[in-house]
Amino acid sequence: MIVIIPTAREINLNYLSPLIDHGARFIIVDDSPGNISVNHPSFEVYNWNHQEKMLGQHQKAIPRKNGACRDFGFYIAWKESDKEEIIIALDDDCDVVNQDFASLVEASLEMAERPVATGTGLHLNALDLYEDIPKNVFPRGFPYSSRIDYKEAIFIDKIASKPSFNLGLWTSVFDINAIDKIKGPEWNHPNATLKHPGVVVPKDTFISVCSMNMHFRSELIPAVYQLPMHVEVFPGWPIDRYGDIWGGFILKLLMDIKGDTMTMGSPIIDHLKEGNYERNIWQEHTCHLVNDEFIDLLLLAKDNIQPSNYVDMMANLNEIFKANTDHSSKILARYLTHLTDCIDHWCIALKK
């Protein structure tokens, strides 16, 4: 079991004690030239200098100065694990409060009967799984166009499956769009509980895959790529804070093509810190403008990718991105030009 955490702040070992006690190995991605150190034998810290040494020109695949720098941890895990090894991705502000967290992660990826999250439309609100929160709370990245006439998912019919990926949820600070904090329902729920410990996300459905609590088999690493962010598309306005969201849409698309199962639910972490919502509004705004367009591009690609290993499927998707860059809006085209170069480097690095 490998735990990957990006940070430019600090690592609090108290947050991670259940995983330390379980014997997990930790890869810390220091998003700096070398400001982070962890004095514990189970922890390995990698900084920008390691990226340069290990990746050379392909270090361009690894984003910097945001949480998507965790891609370097994924790269290391890809090189050093077998395809069935479990990877856990956490953020540095997440408290692993459940002492059985590791065993619950293992159980979440085992064969079992689970309810299917049955909703309407292309997008599923992962927050429908909560028992006791207000209505109309949507996770970061859930398209506004899909909120119109949205009907809450139900969890009735069960199917037996062995998931390859499980999205863990959270208590306390929910991960929602920053602008929703101005007029939307309450988003801090320290005592929130789930209707079911784990449910299947149906095929041909997208969910917002927040990267602060993810569990998956290492064979998925090529498709769990967190997209580069803070890419300025016109003066003063970046594509930002959607690296895990758009990366999650890509992941779900490729999992559907390959026939693998995604679930969501427990084990839950306690998300402790809240970012500056005014800054986050600015960071997310341009993504809101092209979110539907990016999703439409993924749907266009769906019938043109054949099931294969995840490196090849990711590379095939990238060729489709390239072919459609000139036909996209100016905002998305500028982002795709940057993205496709990064994905090229990512796939080449993984294949070496």
Least Cα distance to 273 among 67, 48, 132 occurs for: 67
Q: What is the pLDDT of residue 172?
A: 97
Separation CA 73–CA 310 (nearest Å): 17
How far, in Å, are 30, 66, 287, 291, 316 from residue 72 at the CA level? 10, 12, 24, 26, 22
> What is the rounded average pLDDT for all residues in the chain?
97
State the pLDDT at residue 19.
98
Work out the average pLDDT over 224-237: 97
User: In this predicted model, what pLDDT tens digit does every residue of 44-80 receive, in sequence order?
Assistant: 999 999 999 999 999 999 999 999 999 999 999 999 9
The total number of residues shown for the chain amounts to: 352
pLDDT tens across 273-312, in order? 998 999 999 999 999 999 999 999 999 999 999 999 999 9
Residue 163's Cβ-count burial label (10 Å; 0-12, 13-18, 19+) is: buried
Residue 127 dihedral angles phi and psi, to the nearest 5°: -75, -10
Q: For 280-325, give the DSSP string.
A: HHHHHHHHHHHHHHHHHHHHHHHTT--S--HHHHHHHHHHHHHHHH
Domain range annotation of the chain: 2-351
pLDDT band at 147 (very low <50, low <70, confident <90, very high): very high
- The values of phi and psi at residue 264, to 5°, are -145, 155
Q: What is the pLDDT of residue 338?
A: 98
Residue 120 is predicted with a pLDDT of 86
Q: How far apart are CA 340 and CA 319, in angstroms?
A: 8
Beta-strand ranges (E) seen in 162-283 are 165-173, 188-189, 198-201, 213-217, 231-234, 237-239, 262-271
pLDDT of residue 250: 98
* Cis previous bond, 185, omega within 30: no
Tell me which CATH code domain 2-351 carries: 3.90.550
pLDDT digits 0-9 by tens, 74-106: 999 999 998 889 999 999 999 999 999 999 999
* 313 and 223 Cβ atoms separated by less than 8 Å: yes
Q: Is 349 exposed, middle or buried (0-12, 13-18, 19+ CB in 10 A)?
A: buried
pLDDT-derived band of residue 167, with 50, 70 and 90 as boundaries?
very high
Whole-structure pTM value: 0.98
Token pair for 12: 């609090």
